[in-house]
């Protein structure tokens, strides 16, 4: 078990800068999820932590050890791959012990570790099978078992659930969460699936174009996204954004106006942007509901309704051709063609300045 610290980490392939000045400190036993769209550099970052890809500049520490230039095998890490990467010509037991042999471990110790991992992952009956005789979920459990027997300082997961079907993904996700609690190990987990990120992580690192967009606990990212990118990335369906303008700044309130919504006064004693500044207002679909007379309020025609049972998603065309998605709970969803008036309370409004950074309004 150990901490993991990444300082000013850069990675470039020729002229292409893939990772830019990544700073990250992960505490002992923490479960950190790296999430972001494809090509954001999250897998590259993981591979650099593992030592599979070289570092262009910067440092990686595991515990007190500087591992930047060490071989993967010397870093005390274990990695689980999306493709499982089991050795196809070895049975489950050999898959798990193959790496241990080279560390000069005694047979008795290897047997103990395999038995323990097999018990944890319910692989006892499968130890003599070859990978091709296993189902996808079982293969993934073997891959995790192979990581566990190494008793590493840090576990690295590279999209481990992406190859599983939906039902298995949910159950394996729960198993990984349990495993983390059981082992109390430091884990770094890469995914593009925000449900995995939200449910598994102690902290989420949202990455975009080679940079860290925000680091925080799952609900912090959900309630106070630091910028437009995180606001749009976390949450499903994605947050609605409205162009707005600062009309007036009075003591204790600002007046905001825009094409899509009725001008309204927002209670705020400190508000950075000047009068006339262009800002964006973000509202999550699940926070659009019955309007209040003085708050944020918009009207629009319903174009399409997706009914999922308990919830429905209404796709609404608001003023200025703005596309709005609203989540409506219960039975009384509007139908297409209807005009609706929706609002959101002040505390559910997210404000962003022109650069896309969150505006603190208090």
In the complex, which residues of this chain contact another protein (CB under 8 A)?
47, 50-52, 71-74, 77-79, 81-89, 98-99, 102-103, 130-134, 136, 139, 146, 150, 163
What does R_g of the chain's alpha carbons equal in angstroms? 25
Is 18 or 92 the residue whose CB approaches another protein more closely?
92
Identity of the residue, 78 or 205, whose beta carbon is nearer to another protein in the bound complex = 78
Give, in order, the Cα–Cα distances in Å from 125 to each of 116, 119, 128, 140.
13, 10, 8, 15
Cα(273)–Cα(314) distance, rounded to whole angstroms? 32
Contacts of 135 (CB under 8 A, 6+ apart): none
The residue among 131 and 273 lying less far from another protein, judged by its C-beta, is 131
Query: Which CB atom, from 165 or from 303, has the smaller least distance to another protein?
Result: 165
Comparing CB distances to another protein, the nearer of 81 and 223 is 81
* Phi/psi-derived region of residue 356, left when phi > 0, alpha when psi is between -120 and 50, beta in every other case: left
Q: Compare residues 71 and 321 and give the one whose CB is closer to another protein.
A: 71
Cα distance between residue 40 and residue 61, in whole Å: 22
Instruction: Please tell me the distance from the alpha carbon of residue 336 to that of residue 314, in angstroms, as a whole number.
Output: 8
Q: How far is the CB of 190 from another protein (least distance, A)?
A: 14
Shortest spacing between CB 273 and another protein, in angstroms: 48
Category of 290 on φ-ψ map: left (φ > 0), alpha (ψ -120 to 50) or beta: beta
**Closer residue to another protein, CB minimum distance, 103 or 292:** 103
Nearest distance in Å: CB 117, another protein: 14
Give the integer Cα–Cα distance in Å for 322 and 347. Answer: 22
DSSP-H helix ranges across 102-250: 107-121, 136-148, 166-183, 194-200, 218-223, 228-233
Q: Rank residues 82 and 199 by Cβ distance to another protein and give the closer one.
A: 82
Q: For residues 303 and 181, what is the distance between their CA atoms, to the nearest angstrom?
A: 46
For the chain, the straight-line distance linking the first and the last C-alpha, in angstroms and rounded, comes to 41
Beta bridge mates, 254? 249, 266
β-pair partners for 277: none
Q: Least distance to another protein from the beta carbon of 60, Å?
A: 15
Q: Residue 106 or residue 132: which is nearer to another protein going by CB? A: 132
Q: Tell me the two tokens of residue 84.
A: 């499982």
Task: Give the separation between CA 263 and CA 247, rounded to whole angstroms.
Answer: 9
Angle among Cα 92, 95, 98 to the nearest 5 degrees reads: 140
């Amino acid at each position: 078990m150990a901490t993991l610290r990444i300082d000013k980490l850069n990675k470039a392939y020729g002229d292409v800068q893939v990772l830019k000045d990544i700073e990250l400190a992960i505490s002992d036993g923490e479960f950190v999820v790296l999430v972001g769209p494809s090509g954001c550099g999250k897998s590259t970052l993981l591979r650099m932590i593992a030592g599979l890809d070289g570092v262009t500049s910067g440092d990686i520490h595991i515990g007190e050890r500087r591992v930047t230039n060490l071989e993967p095998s010397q870093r005390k890490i274990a990695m689980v791959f999306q493709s499982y990467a089991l050795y196809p010509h070895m049975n489950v037991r050999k898959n798990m012990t193959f790496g241990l042999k080279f560390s000069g471990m005694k047979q008795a110790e290897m047997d103990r570790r395999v038995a323990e991992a097999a018990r944890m992952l319910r692989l006892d009956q499968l130890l003599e099978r070859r990978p091709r005789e296993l189902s996808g979920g079982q293969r993934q459990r073997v891959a995790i078992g192979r990581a566990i027997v190494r008793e590493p300082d840090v576990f690295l997961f590279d999209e481990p659930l992406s190859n599983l079907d939906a039902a298995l993904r949910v159950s394996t996700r729960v198993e990984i969460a349990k495993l983390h609690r059981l082992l109390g190990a430091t884990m770094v987990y890469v995914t593009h699936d925000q449900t995995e990120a939200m449910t598994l992580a102690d902290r989420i690192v949202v990455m975009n174009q080679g940079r860290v967009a925000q680091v925080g606990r799952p609900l912090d990212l959900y309630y106070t996204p630091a910028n437009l990118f995180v606001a749009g990335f976390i949450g499903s369906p994605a947050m609605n954004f409205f162009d707005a303008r600062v009309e007036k700044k009075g003591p204790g309130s600002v007046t905001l106006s825009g094409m899509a919504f009725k001008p309204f006064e927002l209670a705020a004693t400190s508000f950075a942007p000047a009068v006339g500044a262009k800002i964006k207002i973000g509202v999550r679909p699940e926070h659009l509901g019955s309007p209040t007379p003085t708050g944020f309020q918009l009207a629009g025609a319903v174009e399409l309704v997706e009914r999922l049972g308990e919830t429905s998603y209404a796709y609404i065309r608001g003023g200025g051709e703005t596309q709005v998605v609203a989540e409506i709970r219960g039975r009384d969803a509007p139908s297409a063609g209807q005009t609706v008036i929706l609002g959101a309370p002040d505390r559910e409004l997210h404000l962003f300045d022109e650069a896309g950074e969150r505006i603190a309004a208090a």
